Amino acid sequence: MSALIKSSIARKIVMALSGLFLVIFLVLHVTINLASVIDPETFNQWSHFMGYNILVQYLMQPILIAGVVIHFVVGIALEFQNKRARGVKYVKYQGGANAPWVSRNMIFTGGVVLAFLGLHFYDFWIHEMTYKYIEANPMDPTRYYEETVAKFEPMWRTILYVVSFILLSLHLWHGFASSFQTMGVNNKYTAGITRFTKIYALVIPLAFIFIALYHHLNPVMH
Amino acid sequence: MKLYLKIWRQKDAKTKGKMVDYTMEGVEGDMSFLEMLDVLNEDLILKGEEPIEFDHDCREGICGTCSLQINGRPHGPDTRITVCQLHMRRFKDGDTIVIEPFRAKAFPVIKDLIIDRSAFERIQQAGGYVSVNTSGNTVDANAIPIEKDKADMSFNAATCIGCGACVAACKNASAMLFTSAKVSQFALLPQGRVEAADRVQSMVRQMDLEGFGNCTNTGACEVECPKGISLENIARMNREYLSATAKG
Enter the pTM of the model: 0.95
In chain B (248 residues long), the average pLDDT of successive 10-residue segments reads 98 97 97 98 98 97 96 98 98 98 98 98 97 80 91 98 98 98 97 96 98 98 98 98 91
pLDDT digit string, tens, across residues B186-236 = 999 999 999 999 999 999 999 999 999 999 999 999 999 999 999 999 999
Interface test with A, best of B81, B96, B112, B171 (most A CBs within 10 A): B171
DSSP string across B120-180: HHHHHHTT-S-----TT-PPPTTSS---HHHHHHHHHHHT-----HHHHHSTT-B-HHHHH
Domain ranges of chain A: 2-80+101-217
Do B104 and A86 lie within an 8 Å CB cutoff? yes
Q: Which residues of A touch B219 (CB under 8 A)?
A: 98-99, 103
pLDDT digit string, tens, across residues A28-84 = 999 999 999 999 999 999 999 999 999 999 999 999 999 999 999 999 999 999 999
Q: With CA atoms as reference, report the closest residue to A205 among A13, A12, A4, A30.
A: A30
Burial category of A92 from C-beta neighbours within 10 Å (exposed 0-12, middle 13-18, buried 19 and up) = middle
Half-sphere exposure for B86 (CA within 13 Å, toward CB): 25
CB B67 within 8 A of CB B108: no
Is the pLDDT score of A150 beyond 60? Answer: yes
**Helix residue spans in chain A (DSSP H):** 2-6, 8-38, 40-52, 54-55, 61-86, 101-104, 106-120, 127-129, 144-151, 155-182, 190-217
Half-sphere exposure for B213 (CA within 13 Å, toward CB): 30
Q: Report the alpha-carbon distance of residue A81 to residue B173 in Å, rounded.
A: 10
DSSP string across B64-131: ----EEETTEETSSSSS--GGG-BGGGS-TT-EEEEEE---TTS-EEETTEE--HHHHHHHHTT-S--
CATH class of the domain at A2-80+101-217: mainly alpha
Q: With CA atoms as reference, report the closest residue to B24 among B84, B95, B74.
A: B95
Interface test with B, best of A93, A171, A174 (most B CBs within 10 A): A93
B57 DSSP assignment: S
CA dihedral A165, A100, B228, B8 (to 10 degrees): -130
B208 → closest Cβ in A6, A82, A86? A6
CB A98 within 8 A of CB B165: no
Is the pLDDT score of A1 beyond 70? Answer: no
Pick the CATH number of B3-111 from 1.10.510.10, 3.10.20.30, 3.30.465.10, 3.40.50.740: 3.10.20.30
What residues pair up with B68 in beta bridges, in sequence order? B101
Tell whether the torsion through CA atoms of B185, B190, B192 and B198 is positive or negative. Answer: positive
How far, CA to CA in Å, does B142 sit from each of A24, B147, B150, B174, B189? 48, 11, 14, 36, 12
Q: Strand, helix or coil at B24?
A: strand
Q: Which residues, including other chains, have CB under 8 Å from residue A91's CB and lie 6 or more apart?
A: B6, B8, B19, B98, B100
Average pLDDT value over all residues in chain A = 95
Is the pLDDT score of A2 beyond 70? Answer: no
Do B172 and A85 lie within an 8 Å CB cutoff? yes
Cβ–Cβ contact B109 with A under 8 A: yes
State how far residue A117 is from chain B, nearest Cα, in angstroms.
23
Do A81 and B214 lie within an 8 Å CB cutoff? yes
Q: Report the alpha-carbon distance of residue B188 to residue B242 in Å, rounded.
A: 16
B105 → closest Cβ in A85, A91, A174? A85
A221 DSSP assignment: P
Domain ranges of chain B: 3-111, 117-131+145-247
Query: Among A140-149, A172-181, B136-145, B151-160, where is mean pLDDT lowest?
Result: B136-145
Helix (H), strand (E), coil (C) string for A39-66: CHHHHHHHHHHHHHCHHHHHHHHHHHHH
Q: Report the alpha-carbon distance of residue A4 to residue A118 in Å, rounded.
A: 31
Q: Which residues of B touch A12 (CB under 8 A)?
A: 214-215, 238
Q: What pLDDT is stored for residue A3 in this prediction?
A: 63
How far, CA to CA in Å, does A108 sit from each of A104, A164, A170, A212? 9, 11, 10, 23
Mean pLDDT of A146-168: 97
Is the pLDDT score of A222 beyond 70? Answer: no
Is the pLDDT score of A4 beyond 70? Answer: no
CA A96 to chain centre: 26
Q: Report the alpha-carbon distance of residue A185 to residue A193 in Å, rounded.
A: 10
What is the end-to-end Cα distance of chain B in Å, rounded? 61
Q: Among residues 9-68 of chain A, which lie with CB inside 8 Å of chain B?
A: 9-13
State how far residue B77 is from chain A, nearest Cα, in angstroms.
9
CB B218 within 8 A of CB B166: no
Does the structure's ipTM exceed the value 0.90? yes
Pick the CATH number of B117-131+145-247 from 3.40.1280.10, 1.10.1060.10, 3.30.1480.10, 2.70.150.10: 1.10.1060.10
* Phi, psi of A46, deg, nearest 5: -65, -40
Is the pLDDT score of A191 beyond 80? Answer: yes
Q: With CA atoms as reference, report the closest residue to A76 among A113, A126, A125.
A: A113
Q: What pLDDT is stored for residue A58 in this prediction?
A: 96
Q: Which residues of A touch B105 (CB under 8 A)?
A: 84-87
